[in-house]
Amino acid sequence: MLRAAALARTTPRGVCGLSRNSVATLSPSTKSSLSATTAVSPSVRTLRTAATQSERTFFTRNVLAARPTPLLKTQKTAGVKAVAKGKGYSTEATVAVEEELPLKYGMLYFDNAYPLKMGWWDVRYSLLRPGWKSLERKAKTELVPPENGMPFHFKIGGIEPRLKDGGMFVHFSYVHPKSYTTKEALREIESRCEQHLISHDHYMWFNFQKVRAFLVKGAPFLEDMASRYPNSRIRIEYTGDLGVEGLYSLFRKYGKIMDITLLPPVKDMPRQAILQYNFMRASTSAKSCLHGAEINGIRLNVTYERTLQSNAIWAWLNNHPRLSVPLGGMVLAGVSFVIFDPMRVFSMHAKITQLFNMNEYSVLRWLRKETYGRLTRTLVESQATGWHERENDEEILRNWLRIPPETFAIVHGPRGSGKTELVDYVIKQKKHKVVIRCEELANARSDSELLSNLAKQIGYIPLFQFMTTINNMMDMAITATTGQKAGLSATFEGQLKKILDTLTIAIQQASPTKEMSNISPEAIMKKIEQTIEEKTRRAEAAHDSTCLPTTSLTSKRAERRAAKRKQKQEESSWCDPDDIPVIVIDGYMSREKGPHTKELWTFLAEWAAVLVENHVAHVIFVTNNVAASKPLAKALPSMTFETVVLSDATLDSSLEFVYKHLDRDEYPDLIRTVQTIGGRLTDLEMFVQKVKSGMTPDDAMNDILTRAVVEVRKSAFDFDSKDDKVLNWSTLQFWTILKKLAS
Q: What is the 3-state secondary structure (H, E, C) of 276-335?
A: EECCHHHHHHHHHHHCCCEECCEEEEEEECCCCCCCHHHHHHHHCHHHHHHHHHHHHHHH
Q: Are 507 and 517 within 8 A, CB to CB?
A: no
Q: Tell me: the pLDDT tens digits for 23-59? A: 333 344 433 433 333 333 333 333 233 333 333 333 3
Largest CA distance in the chain: 177
What sign results for the dihedral spanned by CA atoms 280, 282, 285, 288?
negative
Q: Helical H runs in 546-670?
A: 553-571, 597-613, 629-635, 651-659
Phi, psi dihedral angles at 303 (to 5 degrees)? -135, 160
Sheet strands side by side (includes 298-304): 257-262, 271-277, 233-238, 298-304, 294-295
Strand, helix or coil for residue 673: helix
Q: Are 621 and 588 within 8 A, CB to CB?
A: yes
For residues 96 and 506, the model is more confident at 506
CA-wise closest residue to 712 among 728, 683, 685, 734 = 734
Most confident of 48-52, 341-345, 583-587: 583-587
What sign results for the dihedral spanned by CA atoms 565, 568, 574, 578?
positive
Helix axes 2-10, 28-37, angle to 10 degrees: 60
For residues 384 and 681, the model is more confident at 681
Q: Rounded to a whole number, what is the distance in angstroms from the first to the last CA of the chain?
A: 162
Query: Does the pLDDT at position 571 exceed 80?
Result: no
Report the distance separating Cα 258 and Cα 280, nearest Å.
Answer: 12
Q: Are 158 and 150 within 8 A, CB to CB?
A: no
The four Cα atoms 444, 447, 453, 455 give a dihedral, to 10 degrees, of 170
- Give counts: helices (H), strands (E), the chain: 29, 16
In 180-232, which ranges are E strands?
Answer: 212-215
Range in 76-80, 238-242, 595-599 with the lowest mean pLDDT: 76-80
Count other Cβ atoms within 10 Å, centred on residue 435: 18
Q: How many residues does the chain have?
A: 743
Q: Are strands 90-111 and 167-175 parallel, antiparallel or unpaired?
A: antiparallel
Q: Tell me: the pLDDT tens digits for 495-548? A: 899 899 999 999 988 888 766 656 666 677 777 777 767 767 766 666 555 544
CA 377, chain centre distance (Å): 47
CA-wise closest residue to 304 among 330, 286, 317, 292 = 286
pTM over 0.75: no
Report the distance separating Cα 35 and Cα 95, nearest Å.
Answer: 9
Residues 61, 62, 64, CA angle at the centre, nearest 5°? 65
Provide the pLDDT for residue 408: 92
Q: Tell me: the pLDDT tens digits for 368-382? A: 777 766 766 554 454
What does the radius of gyration of the chain's CA atoms come to, in whole angstroms?
Answer: 50
Specify the DSSP class assigned to residue 224.
Answer: -
Average pLDDT over residues 414-442: 88
Provide the pLDDT for residue 410: 93
Residue 617, classified by CB atoms within 10 Å of its CB into exposed (0-12), middle (13-18) or buried (19+), is: buried
CA-wise closest residue to 585 among 628, 627, 622 = 622
Average pLDDT over residues 130-135: 56
- CA distances for 57 relative to 64, 160, 166, angstroms: 12, 9, 21
What sign results for the dihedral spanned by CA atoms 110, 112, 118, 124?
negative
Q: Are 587 and 553 within 8 A, CB to CB?
A: no
Provide the pLDDT for residue 39: 36
Task: For the chain, give the percent of residues with pLDDT over 90.
Answer: 13
Q: Tell me: the pLDDT tens digits for 175-210? A: 877 778 888 888 888 888 888 888 887 777 667 778
> What per-residue string of b and e applies to 274-310 under the rule 16 or more CB within 10 Å gives b?
ebbbeebbbbbbbbbbbbbbebeebbbbbebeeeeee
For residues 269 and 471, the model is more confident at 269
Q: Are 250 and 290 within 8 A, CB to CB?
A: yes
Strand, helix or coil for residue 199: helix
**CA atoms in the 13 A half-sphere facing the CB of 140:** 16
pLDDT band at 615 (very low <50, low <70, confident <90, very high): confident
Report the distance separating Cα 316 and Cα 363, nearest Å.
Answer: 62
Provide the pLDDT for residue 627: 85
pLDDT band at 83 (very low <50, low <70, confident <90, very high): very low
> What per-residue string of b and e applies to 31-49 under the rule 16 or more CB within 10 Å gives b?
beebeeebeeeeeeebeee
For residues 617 and 57, the model is more confident at 617
For residues 87 and 348, the model is more confident at 348
Strand partners, 74: 99
